Amino acid sequence: MKKIIITLNDLFNLPTASIYCPDGYKSAAHVTIDSRKVQPNSIFVAIKGEKFNGHDFVDEALAKGANAVVINEGELKKYENSEGTIVTVENTVYALGDLANVWRNKLSAKVIGITGSNGKTTTKEMLSVLLAERFKVQATVGNNNNHIGVPLTIFSCSSQHQILIAETGTNHFGEIAYSAKILQPNFALITNIGASHLEYLKDLQGVRKEKISLFDETKKNKGLVFINFDDSRLNSLITKYRNISFGFDNGADVQASMKGCTKDGRIILRIHNKKTTIECVSPLLGEHNAKNLIAAIAVALKLGLTKNEILAGIAKIKPIKQRLVSKIFENVLLIDDTYNANPQSMRAAFETMKSISLYPKKIAILGDMFELGTDSKKEHELLTASIKKNKINDVYLLGKGMKFLSKKLQDEKIICKHFASREKLEQFLEGHPFQNAVVIVKGSRGMKMEDFVHQLECKLGK
């Protein structure tokens, strides 16, 4: 099978591009923004980031055999005497996207775009494992899902791959539309709409508008979208797009029902469409992860996987680091859910704790939720109802936002402590006895709550 290559003509067709020394250019089969990964016949795109400026590594890239380097036009004077093909553009970030679009148009793989306020990385990982039972699959590594990560995901896909699963994230208006235009999805899935990135997307209507731009681009490509029929902000879209719906709702095309729950909180499911019925235990904790599995199964069924292939894939699904990963110690179940947090995922975590019957006591160690803008105080306070409903016994809090929650919990006579510093929380946890308890640790990425997970692992493992 032929390699995908970027030709000289492709470079000439890049918007705003001027090419210097084109005669020495040979078609490139590799594109990178990392000078350490340059190999002979690579294209190196110099991106200015927060920590490094790729323009400082142009000579290194050429010395390693880069076939061409793409730089901002204002940087040309530094390199006009360099040996090698120099491509100047107005903005190398956009040029990276343009090159990725060229690469995408040469792919034979079907492209699946995934976004959502919660669960997109988990759903992407689940779907990747399921589809690997039949196809050669390439997927976004980790959550590399922004305007830089999406192009890099496309470049990672070769002519041998049959499926590309690309996660698309956002925290500003227009970012998903930009990524979707590069991706040109054949299929698209939105996991849900929730209160995420409100600092920039303003409100839930803003979140919805941003997320469904993935569907809009898929529609332009005459593709198919997968709609979460349980989400009231999404189920009305069934008349607008060619779709398959999924969920617990009786009206869904791929319908699920809960048949019970294991002691450690995993949901027992029955999932069916008109042709196939699948009974399984969700491999990950929580009802929300069961919903992520239903979404992945809906896509797998559409792409022709059999019941046995899907069940074989489910057996191979493993928890994703820092996303509801549980570890059993003597008389304690510790749950690491520290990757990130928003109001919807916080409530899902509390619901998961309630479903776990292994130990009676429920303890939550919580850090602030970020990027909620002017709604921050309100959203932190609103967690009170979910904590009370799900019978969380003790709550230990860190951060400015969690101070608002602390006051509300005290009003409700729920046991809680707010700590003014990380050091004080560390000291408390070190001396506090944990017995017959389910303990969850959760907070936004910037809170680095995983530090407390590591502390508890050392303490409980002694």
Domains of the chain, first to last:
8-91 (3.40.1390.10), 107-314 (3.40.1190.10), 325-460 (3.90.190.20)
Q: Give this prediction's pTM.
A: 0.86
Q: Is there a contact between 248 and 235 (Cβ–Cβ < 8 Å)? A: no
* CA pair distance 212, 219, nearest whole angstrom: 11
What gap in Å lies between CA 298 and CA 130, rounded to an integer?
11
Three-state SS sequence of 126-177: HHHHHHCCCCCEEECCCCCCCCCHHHHHHHCCCCCCCEEEEECCCCCCCHHH
Neighbours of 275 (CB within 10 A): 7
pLDDT over 90 for what percent of the chain? 83
Per residue in 184-226, pLDDT (tens digit) is 999 999 999 876 666 666 788 778 888 999 999 999 999 999 9
Bridge partners (DSSP) of residue 233 are none
- By the 10 Å C-beta count (0-12 exposed, 13-18 middle, 19+ buried), 53 is classed as middle
Structure-block tokens of residue 409? 């919990």
- What angle separates helix 422-431 from helix 450-460, to the nearest 10 degrees? 20
CB distance 112 to 180 below 8 Å: no
d(CA 234, CA 247): 12
Element (H, E) at 115: strand 110-115
The pLDDT averaged over each successive group of 10 residues in the chain (462 residues) is 91 94 90 95 93 93 94 89 90 98 97 94 96 98 88 97 95 90 98 74 80 96 97 93 97 96 91 97 93 98 98 96 92 95 93 93 97 93 97 97 97 96 97 95 97 96 78
In the numeric block, which tokens belong to residue 99?
Answer: 């090159």
Largest Cα–Cα distance of the chain, in whole Å?
76
The alpha carbon of 105 is separated from its chain's Cα centroid by a whole number of angstroms, namely 24
For residues 238 and 219, the answer to whether their CB atoms sit within 8 Å is no
CA separation for the pair 47, 30 (Å, rounded): 16
Q: At what angle do helices 400-411 and 376-389 cross, to 10 degrees?
A: 40
